[in-house]
Amino acid sequence: SFHVSIARNDTIYILGGHSLENNIRPPNLYRLKIDLPLGSPAVSCTILPGGISVSSALVTQTGDKEFVMVGGYQCDNQKRMFCNTITLEDNNIEIVERETPDWTPDIKHCKIWFGSDMGNGAILLGIPGDNRQLISDANYFYILRCGGARDEEEEAAQTCSQTSTEDPGDSTPFEDSEEFCFSAEANSFDDDDIDTYNEDDEEDESETGYWITCSANCDIDINTWVPF
């Protein structure tokens, strides 16, 4: 369970995962190739070396052949703080470690994190709030922007920045969503692609919320503002 899958053209790669039977995360790496001849599809599975021991990681696509894997767990309640660049070309996969973001103290010390691919090389990363918050079950979010392939000199010169300059120990952290980048230039993404928080849009700051996005067969009113 909780493996990572990446697809390109007619090939799917499956990495890592959590074996619930014996509670281990073996460094699995499988390649599934789907051929579509006349008649039934033909599926072949190949076990490859060089897998990664990880579960519940997040993957975003940064180029036609390049993906970035972030987060996940390497064992129970121990987050995997490393990031990897995954390149798919023809029938080959290459996995290399890349420079990690400058994680905030709150992200480093929390036991649980979660998130989702937002597309365009961006990942939404969330962590639970702590007891210092007024709302005990609150979650706080970051947006990670992952750049594409670059020369090693340029990549080594990249730094990670967080918009907030306040010390988390002196104030309430993550008052709204914050954003930081790693291995990406400022002009790699259009500002119109990312929804940013605007406090003027919110009349009552004590009740933040989000708009519902529904599928066609959902009976919830898509115009409802749901308290978060």
Tens-digit pLDDT profile for residues 54-92: 999 999 999 999 999 999 998 887 899 989 999 998 888
- Strand, coil or helix: 201: helix
pTM, two decimal places: 0.62
Q: How confident is the model at residue 53, as a pLDDT?
A: 93
Rounded to whole angstroms, the Cα distance separating 225 from 37 reads 49
Most confident of 19-23, 57-61, 98-102, 178-182: 57-61
Q: pLDDT > 70: what percent of the chain?
A: 63
Rounded to whole angstroms, the Cα distance separating 181 from 146 reads 7
In this structure, how many other beta carbons lie within 10 angstroms of the beta carbon of residue 90?
9
- Strand, coil or helix: 177: coil
Rounded to whole angstroms, the Cα distance separating 207 from 124 reads 21
What are the backbone angles phi and psi of residue 154, rounded to the nearest 5°? -65, -45
Q: How confident is the model at residue 128, as a pLDDT?
A: 87
DSSP state of 54: -
Q: How confident is the model at residue 20, as a pLDDT?
A: 87
Is 214 flagged in the annotation as binding?
yes
- CATH number of the structural domain 4-148: 2.130.10.80
Phi-psi region of 28 (alpha: psi -120 to 50; beta: other; left: phi over 0): beta
Q: How confident is the model at residue 226, as a pLDDT?
A: 61
Rounded to whole angstroms, the Cα distance separating 76 from 226 reads 33
Q: How confident is the model at residue 152, as a pLDDT?
A: 34
